[in-house]
Amino acid sequence: MKSRSFGNLLVSLLLSAALAQCQQLKIQTGNGKETVLERPDIESLPHVKVTTHGSDMSAEFEGVALKAVLEKAGVEFGHSMRGKRVASCLLVEAADGYRAVIALPEMDPDFTDKQIVLAFLQSGKPLDAKAGPYRIVIPDEKRMARWVRQVTKLKIVDVQ
């Protein structure tokens, strides 16, 4: 009986470790520095709620501003966003290999009022396995092609 409970404990620990890894988000800055944020790191940032209306989906999403996530990893916005940095972009990568690009100035309030959200809740509930644990939501876009699901990595790329 003891070996069975030990086996159950081991399986439980392995599942917990796998779930924790799924909740991680890797961020690579332009200089190659990599930061790994855990779910509590992301949820500690100021929350943002957005309601989307479209032909494909109308929903309420909650998460954090993508800009805030990048700043937590050391990416600078504001006055430093000039010259060559204006050509920098964010490559968003998903677990299934899907990728999309967002120009850094699209997240900078000095350039735009556009809001880009790293969502982890939809209609008050955690995103399901098909969409989560994190999803990019850009409420004012007509097509959802850059609404990357299952986001695993954010990488700053300098266009040359």
Q: Which residues share a beta bridge with 102?
A: 90
Ordered structural domains, the chain, with CATH: 24-158 (3.90.420.10)
Residue 46 · residue 63 · CB < 8 Å? no
What are the start-end ranges of the E strands in the chain?
25-28, 34-37, 47-52, 59-65, 88-94, 99-103, 117-122, 125-126, 135-137, 151-158
Which whole-number Å values give the CA distances from 102 to 3, 41, 90, 115, in the listed order? 51, 22, 5, 12
What does the pLDDT profile of the chain (160 residues) look like in tens digits? 455 566 565 544 444 444 444 589 999 988 889 999 999 999 999 999 999 876 666 789 999 999 999 999 999 898 888 888 888 999 999 999 999 999 999 999 999 999 999 999 999 999 999 999 999 999 988 888 999 999 999 999 987 6
Structure tokens at 73: 């990893």
Contact between residue 27 and residue 34 where contact means Cβ atoms under 8 Å apart: yes
